[in-house]
Each structure stands twice: as C-alpha cells, then as structure tokens.
A and B are shown apart, each in its own frame.
Chain A
Amino acid sequence: MPMDTQTITFVDQDERRSARRHEIETRLQDWLSTGDSTAFEGLRDKMSPVLYCYCRQLGLRHEDAQDAVQDTWLNILRFSSRIKTEENTYAFVFQIAHNCSMNWYRRAKKFHEPRTTSLDDADNTINVTSAGNPEEDCDREDTRRKVHQALKEVPEIYRTPLVLLFLAELKREEVASILAISPGTLASRLFEARRQMAVALNKVGFPGEVYVQPRSKETKPRVKAGQKKIMKRTRQQEAVDGKGASA
C-alpha cells in the first residue's frame, strides 16, 4: 500500500512539473508575441524562483543570487529580438540564465569560495508548510535538509547537469547544449552524479537505504588537465635532456 501511494505521488509530481514548464513557455510566447510589459512581469514572477534556486545551487550567496537573477532578466530583455528567432525559446532563455549565473559564479570565486547553500540562509525565503500535521512537515523538512547536505557533497561538474535536469525541467539534449558537452558525456556525468548522490544520501542518514548503482567497470583514476600538461612537459624535458646527454 505505501508503495502505491508513493507511485501516485510521483506521477502527480511529474504532471505538476511539466505543467510548470508549459506555463512558463506559454507566458514566454505571450511576451515575445505581444511585447507587453505585463506579460513580461508575469513571466518573471513565474521563472525568477527557478533561476534563483539555480544560482544558489551553483554556490552563490543570497545577495549575489538575487543580482544574478536580475542580470539574467536584463539580458533577456536585451536579447529579446534574438530569442524570437530561436526555435526552442525556453532552452535559449535558460542558456542566457546559465551564462549569467556562471559569470556571477566566477566573480564570486574571486572573493570567496562559492558553496552550495541552503535556502535557509536566505532572509527572504518563504516558509512553505502544508495544511497537514506538523509532524509530517517536520519530517519533510528534515528530509529536505539531508538531500541538500548530500547535494553539497557532489562535485560541481556532476551537480550542474543534475540541477539543470531536475530544477529547470530541461530535456537531456537541452542540458547537453547549454553545457556545451556531447550527449554521451552528459549521460556519463548524470550516472556519476546519481551514484555519488546516492552514496552521500546514505552517508547523511537519509530515511531508508538509497540504492547505489555500481560502476559498470573499474575506471582509471581521473587525471586533471593541469596534471596532464605537467606530465607532458616533463616527458618532453626528459626527451630533450636525453638528446643533450647523448650528443
């Protein structure tokens, strides 16, 4: 019985999420076709919370995230004529949002180490409580905190595709295009993200055991790009030294 209830909840959740994307897309089309400022404000009200959450997940602080969202909207207004010519307007708008957020992320990195922060740290967050019993609300809040804690453990390279996929309601090909990576790379990053997320959830004591997908094969430890360059230079230097010695 509990399993059935859970399944129904998830189906509802999917419908609600696709309805949210549909609503944003409709408002976007309204604004692009009419150019009406009221339509734009409606779109902004609907989409700003998603953009704000995305910025926070990247590690921006409350103030920076708010500014990054405003910057995104100003850029959307600036490039509105270009957005009209795009086939997938929703994805293009998110492309602008991603670029703006990354600019703010790089800027923030100069001053402090960005870290994924919970919305609890923000001053202006809205407390959402259901009309049900407080105990249930408390449990849900506890679960939310644990998921957040686990998400923090996942490196940014894996976390970003996960956030774009589940927060922004983007399709896989759209996420790959925004991050400028191939669909194969995206699939492997998503797999690793889910795997690391599952490990982290079990570590933080998420209620129930989370299934950890095994790695398909043992892979060699990753060598960073910088390390590769150093190794290459060392090899070249050795080769030059060897020639010099033999000469």
Chain B
Amino acid sequence: MNPTKHEMDPILKDFFDREVARAPKHHSLRGPSCPSMTRQAEAFSSGWAVTEWEHAAGCDYCCKMTVLQLENEHPKWPVLLQHLTLFGQQAPMQAHLETCWSCKLLMRSPIVNLVRFWIRTKLTTAQIGEKLANLVIGSVMPGERHLIPAVPQGKFANENQPPFYREFKGPNLEVYLREGERPNRPLIVRVDNPNGKLAGRTVECELIYGDGDPTRTSIKLKPNAELGATGQTTLGRYATLAASRDCWHILVYPADEACSPQP
C-alpha cells in the first residue's frame, strides 16, 4: 500500500479519543453543593430532607434532574404531599402537573385536599396520621401494582376461579371490591360498618385511575343485623374501570367529613 495513504480506522480512533478528552465530565449547571445523583434518585421517591430542600428548591441543576425524572415516572406520594404543603421543588412539580392528568386528578381529590387542610390548620403529624387511618380505608399505590392479581383486560385468569376480589379493612369501615356476574361483570363496591355507628349515613366512594375523570358514587349505609351497617353499589364495568388501568386508587370516607378544596 502506498505509505501516503492513510487507513480510516486509526484516523477515527484518534479523532474520537481527542473528542472524549475534551468533553466535560459534569453538567455545566452542577455546583459543588449539589447532592449526588444517587441521592437525587432517592429524594424523588422519598422526598427531600429539610436540610437539602433549601438548596434543591432553588438550584437549577437539582430542579432539572427532577424534571428529567418526572418525564419518566409519576411522582410518589411523599413528593406530592411535599408539593401540596409548599415544601419541595415547586417549579418542576408545577410543570408536571400542568401536563399530567393522572397526578392532576389525584391532587384534586377531596382526600388529598383534606390532608392539605389539616396540614394548614397545623395539626401534628400524629393527629393527621390518626385521622387518615380512620378515613382512608385502602389505597393502592402505582408502584405497588403487584398487590393486584395480574389479569388481562376484561378477562380473568381462569373461569373456575373466584372473580377478582379485594378487601380493605379499617377501624370503622370495611370495603369489598369484587367483579359481578355476567353479562356485564360490573365492579361492585360494598361498604360495611361493623359497629353500626354509621347506619343511616352516607359514605363517598371515589375511584381514581389512569388519565380519565374519577368515578364517584355515594353509598347509604343501612342497618343490618349481621354486618352492623352496610351498603352496596356498582361503579361500572370492571374491565373498563380497574383491569385496564396502570394506576388506580379507591378512597372511601364518610360524606360529612369530606372537605372542599381550601383556598
């Protein structure tokens, strides 16, 4: 081969070596006090600590990292609550809520607004926890979908097996979710009040899922000799409501304790 003629590969190798040597190692916005990336990922799930938040809320790099994470995943409960209580990174969360229907609906939920109201009225964490335990009977978080049996849309794993069934038990209310009979196979919600104290009162039942409007219904609890007080209703077809959604929450609470969003 003519020695004046180069081969392509060494030229390219040399070129890319030089490019790599010139490339920046870190993001240009990253400062010395920014937490590590592993911590950023942790904070996205569990929220920021008070000491970190002051930096993270005002740092362009940390906000950018949160925005990048919000593009891949929905925020977890602690992060949403931090946002609601004006603690946390407001700008990235606000931007996410402008485009994400699922999270927006969750924020509009009366139960979430009730928590915000309690926080604003300066209830202690223990008091809020106690109230919540009494109020929220069950909630299935998006990240814990393994709790729900894996069933394809509109069809169950085995015809001989009992239908899709879940129950949530709290101190005052017990909620049973099950699939109804053919042909419509509705999603049936039954609410029991074992001590019968709530007999004659109405409970609000709210199913939040996907990116659609939440399905709400009211159930009037009637006295029952065996169950204390009980009420039942259907929310629509199971297949279209629960099975096909990635993310859903069932919230049940006595109607007179529900709180309208506070200004």
A residues apposed to B, CB below 8 Å: 2-3, 6, 10, 13-14, 16-17, 37, 40-41, 44-45, 48-50, 52-53, 56, 66-67, 69-71, 73-75, 77-78, 119, 122-128, 140, 144, 147-148, 151, 162-163, 166-167, 194, 197-198, 201, 206, 208-211
Contacts and interface: CB of A to CB of B under 8 A. Distances in A.
Nearest to A66: B27
Given A70-B64, A74-B41, A78-B41, A122 B5 contact: no
B5 A125 contact: no
B20 A41 contact: no
A230 to B, nearest CB: 36
B95 to A, nearest CB: 15
Given A53-B19, A71-B68, A147-B15, A37 B38 contact: yes
A74 B68 contact: yes
B5 A166 contact: no
B10 to A, nearest CB: 5
Interface in B1-27: 1-27
A49 B20 contact: yes
Contact of A209 (B4, B10, B14): B4
Given A2-B3, A148-B15, 4 more contacts: A66-B24, A75-B72, A198-B8, A206-B6
Contact of A13 (B1, B13, B25, B27): B13
B90 to A, nearest CB: 21
Interface of B: 1-28, 36-41, 64-65, 68-69, 71-73
A53 B36 contact: no
Contacts of A78: 41, 72-73
A53 B186 CA distance: 55
24 contacts: A10-B10, A13-B10, A13-B14, A16-B17, A37-B39, A40-B36, A41-B36, A41-B38, A44-B37, A49-B20, A50-B20, A52-B23, A70-B68, A78-B73, A126-B24, A162-B12, A163-B16, A167-B20, A198-B8, A201-B11, A206-B11, A208-B5, A210-B6, A211-B6
Nearest to B71: A71
Contacts, number: 132
A177 to B, nearest CB: 21
A83 to B, nearest CB: 14
Nearest to A123: B28
Contact of A167 (B16, B25, B65): B16
Nearest to A75: B72
A66 B39 CA distance: 19
Nearest to A3: B3
A62 to B, nearest CB: 8
A50 B22 CA distance: 10
A74 B27 contact: no
Main DSSP-derived SS at the A contact region: helix
Given A74-B65, A211-B7, A40 B38 contact: yes
B16 A52 contact: no
B8 A197 contact: yes
Nearest to A57: B19
Nearest to A20: B20
B247 to A, nearest CB: 17
Nearest to B38: A37
Contact of B5 (A17, A77, A209): A209
Contacts of A125: 22-24
Given A3-B3, A37-B36, A211-B7, A166 B13 contact: yes
A125 B18 CA distance: 11
A77 B20 contact: no
A210 B64 CA distance: 45
A140 B71 CA distance: 41
A27 B10 CA distance: 27
B20 A147 contact: no
Contacts of A6: 10
B72 A126 contact: no
B21 to A, nearest CB: 5
A40 B36 CA distance: 10
